[in-house]
Amino acid sequence: MKLRLIGGEALLEGLSLLLPEMEIALTEKDADLTVTVTETEEDALRISLSGDTATLTYGGGKARAFRGIARLCGWKKDGIAEKKTEEHPLFLTNGAMADVSRCNVLNTDTVKYMMRKMALMGMNQFMLYTEDVFEVEAYPYFGHLRGRYTKSEIKDLDAYAGKLGIELVPCIQLLGHLSAHMKWDAAAPYRDTASAMLVDADATYALIGKILDAVKECFSTNKIHIGMDETHDLGVGKALDKYGYIPREELYFKHLARIAPMLKERGFDALMWSDMFFRLAGKNIPDFYDFDDRVSLPDDIGEKACGIRPVFWDYYCGFQSHYDKALAEHKKFGTPEMFAGGVWLWSGFAPIYSHSLKNTLHALRACKKAGTREVLATVWNNGSESALVQSLAGLAWYADFDYTGDYDEESVKECFAHATGLLYDDMMLLEGLEHPTEDAFCATRALLYNDPLLGLADAHLGDGKGLSSHYADLFKRISKIAEHQGYMAPSFFTLAVLAGVLKNKADFGLRLTAAYKAKDKEALAALAKECDLLVKRVRDLQDVHRRSFHFYNKPFGWELHDARYGGLASRFETAKMRILAYLDGEISEIEELEAPRLALRGKAGEIGKSFTWLHQKAFANPNFLT
């Protein structure tokens, strides 16, 4: 397709990055579509198509225009001759945050791919969640062997984002969530606990100064997200030995008071996760945000926060009233708040779109009602096996809600298709891996890593009927479409092969235990042979997943998955050995199979609980199962 622009010179750099993979070329003559572009002061997008000509009027940044270009070209390719729309974005900033700190450091090609697609949806902000995954001068162990970004890489990404109308924002940690760095002896001078910095130590603020200088050098924005969340262990390590007991609240606000001037002198507009303010105000209530009578922020919370802006994060609640109350409470800070929802990819191999969408809509409607002008879709990895590029289907919810004012599935499908060239329904198919039964949720880790002999999850799997046929069907369906997914294809192939493994693996332990209890030697012999098949399939999965991982990410972090796959394959080799030893009379019993299958965590009433419960209690750590 040939595209001609009349006006819009400010868009040309960005279009040179966006149009090639859309199979669109800019031309001065013989155009299939001629678009007259006008930039205005109003934050709005108006587009109109009539045959081979169109008009595009935009304000509020280049990403607005790129969404318009994507839609006009999409309509033209779809054979639409006449159509127009007018959109007034709800949010000043609407973007995504990618977790690149949990053994899943996106390579720069993947970051650029995601930003291109976000720009075509009309999104204008991207955060890199880098705990220690960037260069800090004089601290060689900061991000050591973790795939940290070099300064030149970040500067390149920042410049690239600017061409797309996207603000690249650093999202770091200045107190907790630093266990990957704190493990080194080099961190001893500023280490309180295994994950938290030592408050009031000169070495701590020397490091923070260098961190802030590195960020200031690499990013063109003055915005910075400093983290500060989930510091539940603050003050109970070296601080306890050095200072004696000091209430966590006192340490937390003392630290804020120390770093606020450091931020101000460098000209930063700082944001931070707000959960600890609520945890401290609620005297350590079990939930991060709880708005019954136990929790009310003090009236001087803005002063105590030193003017640092709060980011309210919540990915879990399915009631709008919860978000309404939370956003109202955040108004006490006296500074513009940001809301951060989630596109759920952090629980296993596949996305949990349905759960994410339900909660996202409640949250975004609350933001609209409260007048919240900045929103963010977090895409955590947390050491999971997922490919973060699959979040783009979820980012389309945020983008389309922003421009249309609510959720319309057909509009979201169009937004996603015009930005990526892919089908939204193909993406939704992937969630089936996590839902093998009606009540199953986040099942892939449970079923893949469940030990074949110890069967730690077996008590929760019922009779296992339907698992094999479910995954056999998914294997066929995902395999059929995988090669047509463009940049997403490696992630699709990984999930197709996973489905092929789970066809046999999901109920293997149940079948093995049943055959052993029935003393069915013929069935046991067949299961011993099946162990060979599963070792091969696990290795095949390891290979295709490895290729996918290295396509999207830097190589650091893959060692975790090698250990998981290697352990799983070895357990099947051991299972075969134990079965054959029993059949040959070398042992009189298989002791592992004699052991009763109890509830995973040893509490009454847990048998029969759904995979939802199992994930929340144990399967977030797959190593627990192997």
Tens of pLDDT, residues 223-244:
999 999 999 999 999 999 999 9
Q: What pLDDT score was predicted for residue 617?
A: 46
CATH number of 95-421, picked from 3.40.50.2300, 3.20.20.80, 3.40.50.720, 3.40.50.10680: 3.20.20.80
Report, as an integer, the average pLDDT of 558-575. Answer: 98
Domain borders along the chain are: 2-87, 95-421, 435-625
Distance (Å, whole) CA 238 – CA 199: 10
Q: What is the pLDDT of residue 460?
A: 87
- The H or E element containing residue 4 is strand 2-6
Residue with tokens 């606000």: 253
pLDDT digits over 357-382, tens only? 999 999 999 999 999 999 999 999 99
Q: pLDDT tier at 65 (50, 70, 90 boundaries)? A: very high
Level-2 CATH architecture, domain 2-87: 2-Layer Sandwich (3.30)
> Coil, strand, or helix at residue 310?
strand
Q: Is the pLDDT of residue 610 over 60?
A: no
Position with higher pLDDT, 596 vs 286: 596
Give the residue from 447, 460, 441 showing the smallest Cα distance to 568. 447
Give me the pLDDT at residue 18, please. 98
User: pTM score, two decimals?
Assistant: 0.96
**48 pLDDT more than 90:** yes
Kindly report, residue by residue over 104-156, the tens digit of the pLDDT.
Answer: 999 999 999 999 999 999 999 999 999 999 999 999 999 999 999 999 999 99
Q: What is the pLDDT of residue 2?
A: 97
Beta bridge partners of 149: 134
What pLDDT shows up at residue 295?
A: 72
Mean of the pLDDT values across residues 76-97? Answer: 98
Q: What is the pLDDT of residues 322-359, one digit of tens each?
A: 999 999 999 999 999 999 999 999 999 999 999 999 99
- Separation between Cα atoms, residue 133 and residue 346, nearest integer Å: 19
- For the cut 70, the answer to whether the pLDDT of residue 283 exceeds it is no
pLDDT score for 618:
44
**Comparing 2-87 with 435-625, is the CATH topology the same?**
no
Q: What is the pLDDT of residue 619?
A: 45
pLDDT tens-place string over residues 114-124 = 999 999 999 99
CA-to-CA distance for 280 and 247, rounded, in angstroms? Answer: 10
User: What is the per-residue pLDDT for 150?
Assistant: 98
Q: Give the whole-number percent of the chain exceeding pLDDT 90.
A: 90
How close are the terminal C-alpha atoms of the chain, in Å?
A: 53
Confidence at residue 600, expressed as pLDDT on a 0 to 100 scale: 79
Paired residues of 55 in beta bridges: 36, 48
The predicted pLDDT at position 613 comes to 46
Tell whether the model's pLDDT for residue 452 goes beyond 70. yes
CATH class of residue range 435-625: mainly alpha
Strands 2-6 and 33-39: parallel
* Of residues 471, 487, 391, the one with CA closest to residue 434: 471
pLDDT, tens digit, 9 for 90 and up, residues 477-532: 999 999 999 999 999 999 999 999 999 999 999 999 999 999 999 999 999 999 99
